[in-house]
């Protein structure tokens, strides 16, 4: 270090007030989107074993939860539905009286200051657990997109503020955008799961959403974990098709992708801190191996520092409470 001892980077680190002043990245509640799982029935609050603190909720309980989320100052929830019946076509996904449609109507009528985002896919609704219609073991792209369009429309007709297609079929953003514009929903934004990797970190989510495929896996539509240039092509495609916000999923193991997406496109960028990322932090802290609060905050700041403007995280409530306690 040629400039030492005049240059001493530690000068800014001795005083906590000064450390606060020079901090580059701050968490804000405005960044948080809280994922919720809705199930049929009443007064249902099933704990998800692999995700401590996360529950499957019936609509009545979901509304209560959303009121708490609103009161904590978290601006948005994203909903995943577990239907009464599953079939090969995933019919309940686009039934106007399906579980998500009912949930959206209930939240929008009782909770005023909360954005309701709906996940759009078929895998929670199909008996085979795949994200689309099948021909043998192949997932049909264009036929699936037609159903995703109907599903998206049914969500916004129920009152959803934003839809988030997670299916990774080609061309679905353009198709949904076109249908929205034709049906008078030209002001409804789309968050696209633009670079969604075929990740082992989704394991606990499949307990929560009951969406494990009956055979095979999702590698024919989700991305190969090893590819970053392809991730940029996926994101570019969705932006051209009309996505308003692009998402990278998972978040923590893909910080390089988040940074590249942000730098290349400058779009509002979301990241999904997925179930496995959450479960690992929870499990290690329950064993006393790490400090949960500290690692939670570190994981979220890392995602923001990488370039995410907002993140979907099961820690949203805990992090909002931490902000209330600690921010001046
Ligand atoms: Zn899916």
DSSP per-residue codes, 89-143: T-GGGG-TTSHHHHHHHHHHHH--S-EEEEEE-STTTBTT--SS-EETTEEPHHH
Q: Cα–Cα distances in Å, from 322 out to 175, 217, 297, 318?
A: 41, 38, 9, 6
The stretch 155-183 carries a mean pLDDT of: 97
User: Is residue 249 among the annotated active site residues?
Assistant: yes
**Percentage of the residues of the chain whose pLDDT score is greater than 70:** 99
Mean pLDDT to the nearest integer, 129-143: 94
Query: pTM for the whole thing?
Result: 0.96
Cα 266 to Cα 246: distance, rounded to the nearest angstrom: 10
Per-residue model confidence (pLDDT) at position 328: 63
Host H or E run for residue 76? strand 76-81
Cα of 254 vs centre of ligand 1, distance in Å, is 20
Q: How far does the centroid of ligand 1 lie from the alpha carbon of residue 120, in Å?
A: 8
DSSP assignment, residue 247? E
Q: What's phi and psi for 135, nearest 5 deg?
A: -120, 105
Over residues 94-131, the pLDDT tens digits come to 999 999 999 999 999 999 999 999 999 999 999 999 99
CA of 273 to the centre of ligand 1 (A): 17
pLDDT band (50, 70, 90) for residue 294 = very high
Q: What's the confidence (pLDDT) of residue 125?
A: 96
Mean pLDDT across the chain: 96
pLDDT in the model for residue 210: 87
Q: How far is the CA of 265 from the centre of ligand 1 (A)?
A: 26
Residue 211: pLDDT band by 50, 70, 90 thresholds? confident
- In this prediction, residue 267 carries a pLDDT of 98
Distance 328 CA to ligand 1 centre (A): 41
Q: How many whole angstroms separate alpha carbon 325 and alpha carbon 328?
A: 9
List, for residues 214-269, the tens digit of each pLDDT value: 999 999 999 999 999 999 999 999 999 999 999 999 999 999 999 999 999 999 99
The pLDDT-based confidence of 143 (bands split at 50, 70, 90) is very high
Residue 195, SS3? strand
Catalytic residue among 102, 196, 282, 304: 196
Q: 263-284 burial by CB neighbour count: b if 16+ within 10 A, else e?
A: eebebbbbbbbbbbbbbbbbee
Alpha helices in the chain (DSSP H): 16-22, 59-71, 99-110, 141-158, 172-182, 203-209, 229-241, 255-265, 275-286, 292-305, 316-326
Cα 88 to ligand 1 centre (Å)? 14
For residue 11, what is the DSSP state? G
Q: Which of 86, 102, 249, 262 is catalytic?
A: 249
Residue 45 annotated among the catalytic residues of the structure: no
Q: Are 291 and 285 in contact (CB under 8 A)?
A: yes
CB-based contacts of 285, cutoff 8 Å, min separation 6? 291, 292, 295
Name the nearest CA neighbour of 36 among 57, 52, 16: 57
| Residue 164 CB neighbour total at 10 angstroms | 26
- Ligand 1 centroid to 131 CA: how many Å? 4
Q: How far is the CA of 197 from the centre of ligand 1 (A)?
A: 12
Q: Read off φ and ψ for residue 34, nearest 5 degrees.
A: -100, 120
Q: Are 64 and 43 in contact (CB under 8 A)?
A: no
Q: What is the DSSP string of 135-177?
A: ETTEEPHHHHHHHHHHHHHHHHHHT-SEEEE-S--TTHHHHHH
């Amino acid at each position: 270090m040629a400039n030492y001892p005049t240059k001493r980077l530690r000068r800014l680190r001795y005083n906590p007030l000064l450390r606060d002043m020079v901090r580059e990245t701050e968490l804000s509640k405005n960044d948080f989107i809280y994922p919720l799982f809705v199930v049929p029935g009443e007064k249902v609050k099933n704990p998800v074993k692999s995700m401590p603190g996360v529950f499957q909720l019936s609509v009545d309980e979901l509304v209560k939860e959303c009121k708490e989320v609103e009161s904590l100052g978290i601006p948005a929830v994203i909903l995943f539905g577990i239907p009464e019946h599953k079939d090969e076509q995933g019919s309940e996904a686009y039934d106007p009286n399906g579980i998500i449609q009912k949930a959206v109507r209930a939240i929008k009528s009782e909770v005023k200051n909360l954005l309701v985002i709906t996940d759009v896919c078929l895998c929670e609704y199909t008996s085979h657990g795949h994200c689309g219609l099948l021909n043998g073991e192949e997932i049909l792209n264009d036929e699936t997109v037609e159903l995703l369009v109907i599903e998206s429309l049914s969500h916004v007709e129920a009152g959803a503020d934003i839809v988030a297609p997670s299916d990774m079929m080609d061309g679905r953003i353009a198709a949904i955008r076109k249908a929205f514009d034709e049906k008078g929903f030209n002001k409804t934004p789309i968050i696209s799961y633009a670079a969604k990797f075929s990740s082992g970190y989704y394991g606990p989510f499949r307990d929560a959403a009951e969406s494990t495929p009956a055979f095979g896996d999702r590698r024919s539509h989700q991305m190969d974990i090893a590819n970053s240039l392809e991730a940029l092509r996926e994101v570019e495609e969705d932006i051209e098709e009309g996505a308003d916000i692009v998402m990278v999923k998972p978040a923590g193991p893909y910080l390089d992708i988040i940074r590249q997406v942000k730098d290349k496109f400058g779009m509002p960028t979301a990241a999904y801190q997925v179930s496995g990322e959450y479960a690992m932090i929870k499990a290690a802290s329950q064993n006393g191996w790490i400090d949960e609060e500290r690692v939670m905050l570190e994981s979220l700041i890392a995602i923001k520092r990488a370039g995410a403007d907002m993140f979907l995280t099961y820690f949203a409530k805990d992090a909002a409470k931490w902000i209330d306690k600690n921010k001046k």
